C-alpha cells in the first residue's frame, strides 16, 4: 500500500501481558480505536513501541498482526533502529517480507556517527530496499542531527520521501519547504509542537498521545487543514498538559497509563522499564484524570476528510 506521509500517524505502544508476552488482544483494541478515529498510518516499533526490547520474532508478529487488522485501510510502517548497517539492511528486508508498507529510520544506534557516516548509512539501507522511508531527525534524544545539506545528498535516493521533524525548531519546517518543496514530506514528531508545525506547513503528525486520545489528535489535524484554526486551538489548549507527558524520559509509562484511563491499553511495560510509582505516578494520574474530566466534545471532523 502506498504511503502518503500525511495526516496523523500514531507511533503505537507495544502491549504486553503480565508474563512479558505480547498482548495481541489489547493491541487489536488499540489499533481499531486508531482506525476508527481516522489515522492515516500505523507506526510500529518506535521509542513508544519499546523497540530496543523487542525480538526479531516479536517485530514479525507485530507487523503481520497489524497488516491483518488494518486490512488495507492504512499503511503499516516499522521503525528501524539498529547498531550496524548490515543489521539495518536485514531489518528492511524482513519488514518487506512481513508486509510493511514503509520504514521509519533512526541514525545508527549507540554510535555518534559523523555527518558523512550518517548519510552513507541511510543511503546504503535505502538502496537495499524499494520501501519508502521517513528519516527520524531527533538530535535532542539521539545526538545526531540530519541537516539540510545532508538531506540534499539523501534525496538522491528516490525512496527517501519524508522526515519526522523533531529538532524542536519550528523554523526548520519552513527551511525544509523552501529548499525541497514537496520532494520531502514533513511530519511533526513532537506532540507539544504539533499544531504550530501544521500551521507552518507540516504535512502530518507522528503522534504519541494519540495512543490514548486518537479522536482528539486527528480532530486537531483535520480542523487546522480545514482552516478551522480556532476550534483546533481550543482542543489543543485542553490537550497540552497531556501532550507534555510525551516529552519525558518516562513517556512510555506516561502514555500507557493514559491508555488505561481511556480504556484502550494496559500499564504493562517491559523491564528494565517499570510502571510509574509514588509521587510521580500520582502527578501523572492527576493530569490524566483532569483531562478525562474536562474532555471536550468534538465537531464532526471526519466530515472534513
Tens digit of pLDDT for each residue in 28-42? Answer: 999 999 999 999 999
**Arithmetic mean of pLDDT, 226-237:** 97
**Arithmetic mean of pLDDT, 233-244:** 98
Q: Which residues contact 260 (CB under 8 A, 6 or more apart)?
A: 266, 267
pLDDT at 182 (0 to 100): 94
Residue 2 lies in a domain: no
> pLDDT tens for residues 165-212?
999 999 999 999 999 999 999 999 999 999 999 999 999 999 999 999
CATH of residue 287: 3.20.20.70
Beta bridge partners of 162: 134, 185
Domain count, the chain: 1
pLDDT at 111 (0 to 100): 82
Given a cut of 80, is residue 305 above it in pLDDT? no
Q: Which position has the grid cell 554510535?
A: 111
Predicted TM-score of the model (pTM): 0.97
pLDDT at 257 (0 to 100): 98
Beta bridge partners of 11: 43
Q: Does residue 276 contact residue 248 with C-beta atoms inside 8 Å?
A: no
Residue 1 lies in a domain: no
Given a cut of 90, is residue 1 above it in pLDDT? no
Q: Does residue 151 contact residue 174 with C-beta atoms inside 8 Å?
A: no
Strands 204-207, 7-10: parallel, antiparallel or unpaired by DSSP? Answer: parallel
Domain that holds residue 111: 7-304
The C-alpha cell that represents 28 in the structure block: 487489536
User: pLDDT category, 21, cuts 50, 70, 90?
Assistant: very high
> pLDDT tens for residues 115-147?
999 999 999 999 999 999 999 999 998 889 999
Amino acid at each position: 500500500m502506498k504511503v502518503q506521509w500525511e495526516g496523523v500517524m500514531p507511533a503505537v505502544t507495544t502491549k504486553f501481558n503480565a508474563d512479558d508476552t505480547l498482548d495481541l488482544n489489547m493491541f487489536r483494541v488499540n489499533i481499531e480505536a486508531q482506525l476508527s478515529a481516522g489515522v492515516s498510518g500505523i507506526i510500529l516499533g518506535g521509542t513508544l513501541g519499546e523497540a530496543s526490547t523487542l525480538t526479531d520474532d516479536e517485530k514479525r508478529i507485530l507487523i503481520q498482526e497489524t497488516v491483518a487488522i488494518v486490512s488495507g485501510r492504512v499503511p503499516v510502517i516499522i521503525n528501524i533502529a539498529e547498531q550496524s548497517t548490515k543489521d539495518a539492511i536485514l531489518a528492511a528486508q524482513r519488514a518487506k517480507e512481513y508486509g510493511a508498507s514503509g520504514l521509519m529510520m533512526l541514525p545508527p544506534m549507540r554510535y555518534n556517527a559523523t555527518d558523512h557516516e550518517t548519510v552513507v548509512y541511510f543511503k546504503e539501507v535505502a538502496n537495499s530496499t524499494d520501501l519508502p522511508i521517513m528519516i527520524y531527525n531527533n538530535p535532542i534524544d539521539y545526538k545526531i542531527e540530519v541537516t539540510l545539506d545532508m538531506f540534499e545528498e539523501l534525496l538522491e535516493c528516490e525512496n527517501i520521501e519524508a522526515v519526522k521533524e523533531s529538532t524542536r525548531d519550528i523554523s526548520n519546517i519552513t527551511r525544509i519547504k523552501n529548499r525541497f518543496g514537496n520532494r520531502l514530506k514533513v511530519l511533526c514528531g513532537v506532540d507539544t509542537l504539533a499544531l504550530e508545525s501544521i500551521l507552518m506547513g507540516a504535512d502530518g503528525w507522528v503522534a504519541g498521545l494519540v495512543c490514548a486520545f486518537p479522536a482528539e489528535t486527528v480532530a486537531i489535524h483535520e480542523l487546522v487543514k480545514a482552516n478551522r484554526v480556532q476550534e483546533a486551538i481550543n482542543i489543543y489548549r485542553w490537550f497540552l498538559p497531556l501532550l507534555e507527558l510525551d516529552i519525558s524520559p518516562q513517556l512510555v509509562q506516561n502514555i500507557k497509563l493514559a491508555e488505561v484511563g481511556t480504556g484502550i491499553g494496559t500499564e504493562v511495560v517491559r523491564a528494565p522499564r517499570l510502571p510509574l510509582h509514588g509521587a510521580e505516578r500520582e502527578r501523572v494520574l492527576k493530569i490524566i484524570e483532569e483531562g478525562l474530566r474536562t474532555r471536550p466534545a468534538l465537531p464532526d471532523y471526519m466530515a472534513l476528510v
